[in-house]
Amino acid sequence: MQPDKNDILNIILNSIIDGVFTVDTEFHITSINRAAEKIIGISKNDAIGRHCHEIFQSNICDYSCALKETITTGKPLINKTIYIIKKTGEKIPISINTAVLKDKNGTIIGGVETFRDISEITSLRKTLKSGFTFEDIVSKNRHMQELFKILPDIAESDSSVIIEGASGTGKELIAHAIHNLSKRNGKRLIPVNCAAIPDNLIESELFGYKAGAFTDAKKDKPGKIALAEGGTLFLDEIGELSINVQAKLLRFIQDKTYEPLGGIKPVLADVRIVAATNRNLEDEVKSKKFRQDLYYRLNVMKIRIPPLSERKEDIPLLIKHFIGMYNIIKSKNITGMSDDGINILMNHDFPGNIRELENIIEHSFILCKEHYIQKHHLPNYLTKESINNVQASLKDMEAQYIKKILKIHNWNRKETALALDIDKSTLWRKMKLYNIEEPQ
């Protein structure tokens, strides 16, 4: 006697590792498999007939039931992470998928939900995150990990710091970390972009001015140094300061005093200086573009932030970080990025560094209506670059192969052309194209 369809279905459902249960249109549980019983910690007999929210007590039951949404809209839901409460009271994360159940006539008679316990994955992610993040800085690069270790000591020292790195590498994040970890964290960190302020205004921006200092000065205005009192002044792109302003800044760092424009009395200030630059200040000193004495006053501690091209192992980690961030900002539920999309980004040199990568993810979020960012969601320049890289790689492979066959035939072009099954004139053109020359 052969088993009926229901028996076969139960055998299949009880053999899979994912939890599965079904509900009717009133959301009463109509069936549940063994994996679901084990994950939830409840028996089939206790679950059947009861309302699903009584059994699962999920964080979305009260306001955004996934099964209700699917049964109402007819649209499945894929890979949504939620939390449920087991019979023991333990809160566990699960990944769920939902779909509708229909009868022979196509009428919706309920829904089915499959789910998987992702406690171990979530725990692993937390472990990885704790090891690869530091004050909002995300990295598993060896150089950055070493920096994470010493950053608390640098912060505690209260000495001046220079942060060197290309634009978009995250110099301001490092400055914020230094401030947050220091004894000054109860006061403000005041940033000044020295490259964005005209040279004739930077002095009043830093030191402030007194009423009457110039025509439009109707009342006193405190400068950035005064605003940073007791805290930290972050001078971004300090290499852009003129020699004249550099001299006045040096005087402030040496004496801890400054004079606002139009002032007659020096003002005492308790402010820590953290500077950043995308230039090599040692070279700037040699070329007389940056004062040597100011450089040595600032350069008590130097931190170098490597460009993203030197820490490509961070790209997948940063992709996850920015996807998580933009899911919150844009109220989306994008799970990740496809392998071919990640490969394109891994092969890109990122002249704009982490800032460029963040812009790429934001661009992709605008276009992506799926759960995974695909290659076609990326900016056009990246996909064109990928095609060019493939073409360049194929040409390089062809050049290497031609050179290898030439060597085998002792650089005899006629024999090589025959071996390659091409005309001798074609071989000659390709040798010219790839700059292949017979060794002397």
The full set of domains in the chain, from first to last, is: 5-117 (3.30.450.20), 129-306 (3.40.50.300), 309-378 (1.10.8.60), 384-433 (1.10.10)
Strand 108-117, strand 257-258: pairing? unpaired
Backbone angles phi and psi of 129, in degrees to 5:
-65, -40
Given a cut of 50, the residues of the chain with pLDDT beneath it are: 1, 128
**Run of H or E including 302:** strand 301-304
Query: pLDDT at position 420, please?
Result: 81
Kindly calculate the radius of gyration of the chain based on its CA atoms and give it in whole angstroms: 32
Q: Tokens for 155?
A: 């912060």
Shortest CA distance to 235 belongs to which of 156, 158, 179, 175?
Answer: 175
The two structure tokens encoding residue 212:
């009457």
pLDDT of residue 91: 75
**What does the alpha-carbon distance between residue 97 and residue 79 come to, in Å, rounded to a whole number?**
6
Structure confidence at residue 355 (pLDDT): 94
Q: What stretches of 214-351 show up as alpha helix (H) in DSSP?
A: 224-227, 243-255, 281-286, 292-298, 315-329, 339-346
Distance of CA 237 to the CA centre of its chain: 23
- The answer to whether the CB of 179 falls within 8 A of the CB of 231 is yes
Distance (Å, rounded) from C-alpha 171 to C-alpha 152? 16
Backbone φ and ψ of 290, nearest 5°: -140, 135
pTM of the model: 0.61
Report pLDDT for 4: 56
Locate 225 and state its tokens.
């140094």
3-state secondary structure 26-92: CCEEEEECHHHHHHHCCCHHHHCCCEHHHHHCCCCCCCCCHHHHHHHHCCCEEEEEEEEECCCCCEE
What three-state secondary structure class fits 291?
coil
- ∠ CA 169-170-174, nearest 5°, is 135
Pairing status of strand 161-164 against strand 137-138: unpaired
